[in-house]
Amino acid sequence: MAQIFPKWTNNTPPIIAAVVLFGAVMAVGFVWYYGSPEYTDVGYRPIQPVQYSHKLHAGDFGFDCRYCHTSVEVSTVSSIPPTNTCMNCHKIILTNSEKLHPVRESYTSGMPIEWKRIHDLPDYAYFNHSAHTRAGVGCFSCHGNVAGMEVVTQVEPLSMGWCLDCHREPDQHLRPLSEITNMKWTPPENQAELALKYKMERNISPPVDCSGCHR
């Protein structure tokens, strides 16, 4: 009796299985990367209501981060500076600048400027700025060299895996408390020795269990 299908069709099932498996792997990989904070969040730089240059203020002028973000050492949040902070200088500097019109308008009306949040963790994740600054983790570790940015851009994914990597091996991120806001600080050759000292003095033991960040 003649065969209905040619002999080469015997290879069809494994070929189809291989194609389906390859497609499934590619689909998972596509979602894994393109749906991750590494792709969706890194590089985020929204247009703000005022063209504020961190490079000019924190970089060229040398403003300390804490001049504007006053609560970063004592609160869970770093705080967005009120318009009064801007006007401490701009009452006498660039008083007629068109770029600063929203600032003057906010100061006069008492309505805060609606800045757009850049580093925005999900509501189910707990993060305490003061706990990290007291431990000696500098602003640079999470935010990058903000003092060199004309427009602040998110440079780290702030994902769970990224946070856990630091919690498991924090040594390279620990620095003297006096250098917390120094964007040019680099770990010295004896950083491992110093990190051990810091961890003992500051009682540093970063949590790696779920309750550390999900409360």
pLDDT tens digits, one per residue of 69-112: 999 999 999 999 999 999 999 999 999 999 999 999 999 999 99
- For residues 176 and 207, state if they share a domain: yes
- For residues 57 and 154, state if they share a domain: yes
pTM: 0.83
Rounded to whole angstroms, how far apart are CA atoms 20 and 24? 6
pLDDT for 180-202, tens place per residue? 999 999 999 999 999 999 999 99
For 178, the domain range is: 51-80+118-212
The pLDDT assigned to 20 comes to 87
Task: Categorize the per-residue pLDDT at 2 as very low, low, confident or very high, splitting at 50, 70 and 90.
Answer: low
Average pLDDT over residues 129-158: 97
Rounded to whole angstroms, how far apart are CA atoms 126 and 118? 17
- For residues 110 and 127, state if they share a domain: no
The pLDDT assigned to 29 comes to 79
Cα 168 to its chain centre, rounded Å, is: 18
Number of domains within the chain: 3
- For residues 33 and 93, state if they share a domain: no
pLDDT for 146-184, tens place per residue? 999 999 999 999 999 999 999 999 999 999 999 999 999
- For residues 72 and 172, state if they share a domain: yes
9 assigned to some structural domain:
no
- For residues 131 and 178, state if they share a domain: yes
Task: Categorize the per-residue pLDDT at 8 as very low, low, confident or very high, splitting at 50, 70 and 90.
Answer: confident
Rounded to whole angstroms, how far apart are CA atoms 115 and 4? 71
144 assigned to some structural domain:
yes
Task: Categorize the per-residue pLDDT at 43 as very low, low, confident or very high, splitting at 50, 70 and 90.
Answer: very high
- For residues 143 and 198, state if they share a domain: yes
